[in-house]
Amino acid sequence: MMSHEAFVFLSYGATALTLAGLLIGIVLDGRARRRELAELEAQGVRRRSEPAGEAN
Amino acid sequence: MIALIKRDLAIATRSGGAAMLGVLFFLAVVAVIPFGMGPDLNLLARIGPAILWIGALLASLLGLDRLFQADREDGSLDMLVMQDWLSLVLTLFVKSLAHWFATGLPLVLAAPLLGLLMNMSATSTGAVMLTLLVGTPAISFIGAVGAAVAVVLPRGGLLVSILILPLAIPILIFGVSAAYAAVTDPDPFWPPFMILSAIALFFAALGPVAAAAALKGASD
Amino acid sequence: MRGPMQAVATKLKGRRGDSVLFEDIGFTLGRGEALVITGPNGSGKSTLLRILAGLLGADSGTFSLLGDDGTALPVADYSHYLGHRNAMKRELKVSENLAFWQSFQGAESGEGMPIDEAIDQVGLTGVAHLPFGYLSAGQQRRIALARLLVSSRPLWLLDEPTAALDKRSDRLFADLVRAHLETGGLAIAATHQPLGLDSVRALELSGIHSTVSDGTWA
Amino acid sequence: MSDTTISQGWFTSLANPTRFLALSGRVLPYLATAAVLSLLVGLYMSFAAPEDYQQGITVRIMFIHVPAAWLAMMCYSVMAIASIGTLVWRHPLADVAAKTALPIGAAFTFLSLLTGSLWGRPMWGTWWVWDARLTSVFVLFLMYLGLMALHKAMDDPARAARPAAVLTLVGFINIPIIKFSVEWWNTLHQPASVIRLDGPTIHPTMLYPLLVMALAYTLIFFTLHLMAMRNEILRRRVQTMRRQAAQAIGGGR
């Protein structure tokens, strides 16, 4: 039987881990999207509705 | 062949999320049981291994019809079937394996979570995981035969399950009995588990060959 | 150099269900030669090609590839089959699709061209990074043609290769086949597209087997 | 839109994804800072709080369990409102908001289940019981996952938007069930002690850390949600640009 402290520690640890994972996932996803956009723009693809050279 | 595994896994994870759907179905099926049986924790703990096994069996049958159907729809299947016998058997083995990675393995990994929900002991959960780890590949391999037979039929999905279910019964029997043997004292764990492993190996050998025969015959 | 010298078909007979579509089809193709199969719908063009590819069993007769020294080569390893469908996954990028087929169909008969070059050849420079599903029907067909280029196989079996292609792409297709023949390849195609080559022969399936003309084509 | 009341003008300006990107980019740093600060304060307060005479140290799990459960429900409510936005006003950002809230909501639901389970083991002696509160939250978790699967199954986000919105709204009936489950059925889970008509019943030494943690969770949610929305807008932009690129290649030249 684990001590009660262990359960408290596990809860906080799991919460921290899950939230950090979520944050990292979102940040990485954002980077990947920005990279794709940059690639597309490097290839000269422009959005029809936007003027050239729009910053994201 | 590595390329084939990579391709099939990429398709499974990228769009449609076959892997996730299987696990979700597994979760849903197992979660429904307590509603039907009543939330008696002792009862749930007792029937837990069987429920998990049945849920895993149904969940792995769920995606089987897409195993060759998707390749047939876009014409890739022709290129696979065109090969000589040995390469075709190897290809189908690899495809079944990729299918297991995408749908079977996530079920094994989800099992402990469901074990908690069913109030199963750690030993019992571990035993179910171990038997599922051996048993779900067997389902994928024998399922390939059904998928190959049903590939030319419209509404093959339901048919695959009906065709494969009887063949999967031995897997279920020995998987569940091994899982129970791990927790009930006098019964030995290893004999049923070894039989289960033997079935898995046998299906791994038989499945691709039979599926190859079915696909060669079915091409129209 | 590469691949077989000859593709030889003798007395091929094919049927759909109970009705015989054609019989006594025979031809011999040498390196750099092409055979164009024509005929009305339902005359068995696709069936013939699938028999040649080994996807269907012939009722009778044989089809074989012979190497330079006269030994038989497995058709499956030395031919590309392009059916009505493109054999590409919508979810994957064009480059991923082609890379898969390149490694899967990597032939004993020689190296294919790099993926980017193959895409250039079909006039779609710049689509490599796009998911295949984003392309229009004509573009998808052209990528399917690019599959024939990324791994080198001497015999091309093409079933309506120019379906969904516009006029200009038709010419592009003819150029690809011509280039293939010039490097010593063979092609058998069910198409109405004139290839504009001397070495192209024609085989007409007339639909009802009793009127199969002559049979052997020279 | 022809009629331009002030609120609608503001609304339509927000509807422009480019404007939204600019605006959210300016707000995000402040939001993130506030989230981190309140989280630190909340963590300090929850460890400074005295131990409960009944529950001992495990009461500290409450400070991360209860806000997670609240957020799980709030996130679904946000999605439900966004779904109305999709169905009624066809607001282009509404679908983005609903879709990107999904994984975050699922994470909070998962956390509330997990921390609850970790609390239940020492206090109730079991990881899990099938009582009304726990089961309804578990159903909420399944709904989050199901909606995520629905979005994943469609490669065109525009086509997934409306069915997902309808499903989200239908699933909203689960939220009041979760809220009142402890009152409607006699369950193991303790009844609400903070949000009650007659005022909170827990001691202020417990209440304040809980409220600060709830604030921190809320700020974390909005920070993550804004970031995810920006990603989704970029993702869709990439998609459109790719389609345009595909059209342009080999066609005109």
| CA–CA distance, C176 with B152 (Å, rounded to integer) | 33
The per-residue pLDDT for range D39-57, each reduced to its tens digit, is 999 888 888 777 766 667 7
| CA–CA distance, B76 with B74 (Å, rounded to integer) | 6
pLDDT of residue D107: 94
Contacts of B119 in chain D (CB under 8 A): 126-128
CATH of the domain at C43: 3.40.50.300
Contacts of D238 in chain A (CB under 8 A): 33, 36-37, 40
Q: For residues D225 and C194, which has the higher predicted lDDT (pLDDT)?
A: D225
For residue B153, pLDDT beyond 50:
yes
pLDDT of residue D5: 43
- Smallest Cα distance from C84 to chain B, Å: 8
pLDDT of residue D57: 75
Q: Is residue C13 part of a domain?
A: yes
User: Rounded mean pLDDT of C126-153?
Assistant: 85
User: Rounded mean pLDDT of D19-29?
Assistant: 87
pLDDT of residue B17: 62
Q: What is the mean pLDDT of chain B?
A: 85
pLDDT of residue D110: 93
CA-based Rg of chain D, rounded to a whole angstrom? 21
For residue D2, pLDDT beyond 60:
no
Nearest residue of chain A to residue D224 (CA atoms): A23
Look at residues D122, D118, D100 and name the one whose alpha carbon lies nearest to residue D227: D100
Cβ within 8 Å, pair C56-B75: no
Q: How many CA atoms lie within 13 A of B17 on its CB side?
A: 16
Burial of B131 (0-12, 13-18, 19+ CB in 10 A): buried
Indicate the number of domains in chain C: 1
DSSP assigned state of B102? I
pLDDT of residue C110: 61
- Smallest Cα distance from D253 to chain A, Å: 15
Ramachandran angles phi, psi of C193, nearest 5°: -80, 120
User: Rounded mean pLDDT of A36-54?
Assistant: 65
Look at residues B146, B10, B148 and name the one whose alpha carbon lies nearest to residue B77: B148
Cβ within 8 Å, pair C124-D155: no
Residues 6+ away with beta carbon under 8 Å from B28: D142
pLDDT confidence bin for A4, thresholds 50/70/90: confident
Q: What is the residue whose two structure tokens read 């003309």? A: C213
Cβ within 8 Å, pair D126-B31: no
pLDDT confidence bin for B133, thresholds 50/70/90: very high
DSSP states of D34-102 as a string?
HHHHHHHHHHHHHHHSPPBTTTBTTHHHHHHHHHHHHHHHHHHHHHHHHHHIIIII--HHHHHHHHHHH
User: Rounded mean pLDDT of D237-243?
Assistant: 84
The per-residue pLDDT for range B28-85, each reduced to its tens digit, is 888 888 878 777 778 888 888 899 999 999 998 887 888 888 888 888 888 888 888 8
The answer to which of C98-102, C120-124, D12-16, D109-113 has the lowest mean pLDDT is D12-16
Phi-psi region of D44 (alpha: psi -120 to 50; beta: other; left: phi over 0): alpha
Nearest residue of chain D to residue B21 (CA atoms): D149
Rounded (10°) CA dihedral B185, B190, B196, B199:
-150
Cβ atoms C162, C131 nearer than 8 A: no
| CA–CA distance, A19 with D103 (Å, rounded to integer) | 11
Cβ within 8 Å, pair B20-D128: no
| CA–CA distance, C152 with C16 (Å, rounded to integer) | 32
Q: Is residue C84 part of a domain?
A: yes
Identity at C113, one-letter amino acid code: M
Length of chain A in residues, anyone? 56
Best mean pLDDT range from B2-11, B87-96, B183-192, C52-61? B87-96
Contacts of D145 in chain B (CB under 8 A): 20, 24, 27
Whether residue C143 lies within 8 A of chain B, CB to CB, comes out as: no
pLDDT of residue D53: 66
The chains in contact with chain B, meaning 3 or more Cβ pairs closer than 8 Å, are C, D
Cβ within 8 Å, pair A27-D227: yes
- Smallest Cα distance from B77 to chain C, Å: 8
For residue D167, pLDDT beyond 60:
yes
Ramachandran angles phi, psi of A45, nearest 5°: -80, 130
Cβ atoms B189, B161 nearer than 8 A: no
Look at residues D149, D138, D134, D146 and name the one whose alpha carbon lies nearest to residue D170: D146
- Smallest Cα distance from B79 to chain C, Å: 7
Q: What are the angstrom distances between the C-alpha of C184 and each of B24, B205, C32, C149, D158?
A: 54, 41, 5, 14, 49
The answer to which of C156-160, D52-56, D87-91, D147-151 has the lowest mean pLDDT is D52-56
Give percent of chain B with pLDDT exceeding 70.
Answer: 95
Domain span at residue C156? 6-211
Residues 6+ away with beta carbon under 8 Å from D4: none
The per-residue pLDDT for range B3-12, each reduced to its tens digit, is 788 888 777 7
The chains in contact with chain D, meaning 3 or more Cβ pairs closer than 8 Å, are A, B, C
User: Rounded mean pLDDT of C177-190?
Assistant: 85
Cβ atoms C122, C182 nearer than 8 A: no
Nearest residue of chain B to residue C100 (CA atoms): B3
Whether residue D135 lies within 8 A of chain B, CB to CB, comes out as: yes
For residue C213, pLDDT beyond 50:
no
Nearest residue of chain B to residue C74 (CA atoms): B84
pLDDT of residue D37: 92
pLDDT of residue C1: 40
pLDDT of residue B132: 93
Cβ within 8 Å, pair D249-C134: no
For residue A54, pLDDT beyond 50:
no
| CA–CA distance, B191 with B177 (Å, rounded to integer) | 10
pLDDT of residue C212: 38
pLDDT confidence bin for D104, thresholds 50/70/90: very high
pLDDT of residue B31: 84
Give the residue extent of every domain in chain B: 2-218
Residue to mutate among D102, D119, D128, with most B CBs inside 10 A, is: D128
Neighbours of C193 (CB within 10 A): 17
Ramachandran angles phi, psi of B71, nearest 5°: -70, -30
For residue A51, pLDDT beyond 50:
no
Cβ within 8 Å, pair D246-C142: no
Contacts of C127 in chain D (CB under 8 A): 245-246, 249-250
Contacts of C135 in chain D (CB under 8 A): 246
User: Using CB atoms, which residue from A23, A34, A47 is nearest to D224?
Assistant: A23
| CA–CA distance, C156 with C75 (Å, rounded to integer) | 11
- Smallest Cα distance from B36 to chain D, Å: 12
